[in-house]
Every structure is written in structure tokens, then in C-alpha cells.
Amino acid sequence: MAASRSEFGRLLHAWRDRLSPADAGFAVTVGRRAPGLRREELAQLAGLSVDYVLRLEQGRAKNPSAQVVGALARALQLSRAERDQLYRVAGLLPPQDGTISTHVSPGIQRLAARLGDVPIGVFTADWTLVWWNSMWSALHGDPAELPAAERNLARALFGDGPARATLRPVRSERGEEAFAASIVADLKDAVSRYPADARLGSLVQELRGASGAFAHYWATATLAPHETERKTIRHPEIGDILLDCDILIAPGTELRMVTYTAAAGSSDAGKLDLLRVTGGRATSTSP
């Protein structure tokens, strides 16, 4: 077991050194000595503490969970083969066929990282958020502050846990019912294609029992393609921001890349610029 922990840490360190900071969305400054990602950068991308990443690399942390290993694999932009190797070294079975994939390919991550001025979140087929950039955190709040299981849009809309409690008010031009129904329809479609996915089945069972609205949409919603729609996000510091929301499907995957943009020169583009500068934090303090 000690040898496995040592090998897990060796792989983490080697793959961290290999990954270009620019490909991960970090600015490369003059005088930077780290050949790849710094430990704190990996921790930020994976939603983990720096101390925990250090203990993993040193072989002092035991039995990382599948969620932790998956988060590290995405943060390190591993290939599927490398991801599976990391799972096995951690003493875990790699994700099996017939279940919803949480793998975000290096190409998709590099593309999203180069669009750093745009709030971007990457969701799986069951609307679980698995990747986001700093602008997404500035606009919607930092998903890393939520338990991994709560980073799910359906839970945010229909659950009664931390995801719903931290969801910032969003108003859709299509109306809240149309948006909510489309998310449930997507889950129905996912269940039809992944009947053996226990995590998905548990999510649906939980929400059908906890939310009358979810149960209603489950019985009535029909699948429809997602189209560009305008949404107003009420930010606690910036106020209302009207943005175009697009949902892009990554070719060859079932990942949904959600983006928010505003027309150049508009007041809402100016608000996005302010978010970029402040990170979504308060811009002034009361005397």
C-alpha cells in the first residue's frame, strides 16, 4: 500500500510538471521557476487544499476517493489511459462503460482556458459541473466551495441542499418553467441511455421524491435542442447582468460547454469586465 501511495504521488508530481500553465489557464510570468503547474495551481483546479495535494504527492494521504482522483485527472488534463492508470494506482476501478463519463479531454480544457475572458462551465450528461474557469466562479460563485455531489444543476434547481442554497438568482427570457423542464428532459434522456448508472439513478430518485415540480416535469417534459437564450444573473456585488447563454456540445462527447457573453461595448460587457478585474468580490467597503 505504501508503494502504491508513493507511485500515486510520483505520477501526480510528474504530470503536474508536464502541464503548461498557459494550457491550464494561468498567466506565465517572467521569472517563473516551476516547469509546469505549481502545487497551489493544481489544488485550485481540482478544488482541493494545497496541504492535501502535498500529502498526496508525498505519499502521506491514504485512500483518495474516486471523486478526488477524477478531479485530479481533469485538472492534469490526462488522457483516458492516464486517467485509468491514476485510478488503478489509487486502488480504484476506473470509470466503467455504460456510466456517464466525467472525463474532460485536454483539447477541450485548452480551448476553454484560452477563452478566459468568458464565463465557461463544462457539464456532464447529467448536468454535473466538472470544469469551470475563474470567470464562471466570479459570475456564479465558486463551485469549489460546494461538495462535489452538490455541483449539479438539477440539484440546484430542485434539491434542498447546499447547491440550491447558493444558487444565484437567474431569470431566463424563455421563462423559468421552460428552462427547468429542459433540464429534467435531459436527465430523462440520460437515464434512457445510461440505465446502469447508479449515481444518475440515485439523483433522479432523490429529486422525484423531494420535489413535486421535478416529478411533474419528469412526467411531462419532452427532449428539445438547447438554443441561445438571454439570461439575467443577479450578482450580489455587480447587480443584474443580461447575457447570452449558449450551450455547446463537444464533438465526440456528451459534455456541455455553457458560455455567457455580452455584445462588445454594451453596459453588460462592462459588467463582465468589472467581474474580470474584481473576481466578483466587493469593489468598495462601507465607512
Arithmetic mean of pLDDT over the chain: 89
Say what the pLDDT of residue 115 is: 87
Q: In this predicted model, what pLDDT tens digit does every residue of 8-22 receive, in sequence order?
A: 999 999 999 999 888
Whole-number Å distance between alpha carbons of 44 and 21: 12
Say what the pLDDT of residue 286 is: 35
- The larger pLDDT score, comparing residue 269 to residue 98, is at 269
Q: Where are the domains of the chain?
A: 2-89, 106-278
Q: In this structure, what C-alpha cell is assigned to residue 97?
A: 462503460
Question: Structure pTM?
Answer: 0.77
Mean pLDDT, to the nearest integer, of 278-285? 65
Closest by Cα among 232, 247, 119, 226 to 168: 232
Architecture of domain 2-89: Orthogonal Bundle (1.10)
Architecture of domain 106-278: 2-Layer Sandwich (3.30)
Distances (CA, A) of 124 to 17, 20, 121, 219: 28, 25, 10, 23
Contacts 24+ apart (CB under 8 A), 265-272: 268/241, 268/242, 268/243, 271/235, 271/238, 271/239, 271/241, 272/117, 272/119, 272/135, 272/139, 272/241, 272/243
CB-neighbour burial class of residue 83 (10 A; exposed 0-12, middle 13-18, buried 19+): buried
Q: In this predicted model, what pLDDT tens digit does every residue of 33-84 receive, in sequence order?
A: 777 999 999 998 888 999 999 999 998 988 899 889 989 999 999 988 899 9
Task: Identify the band that residue 3 occupies on the pLDDT scale cut at 50, 70 and 90.
Answer: low
Task: Identify the band that residue 2 occupies on the pLDDT scale cut at 50, 70 and 90.
Answer: low
Whole-number Å distance between alpha carbons of 36 and 152: 31
Mean pLDDT, to the nearest integer, of 139-151? 91
- The larger pLDDT score, comparing residue 174 to residue 156, is at 156
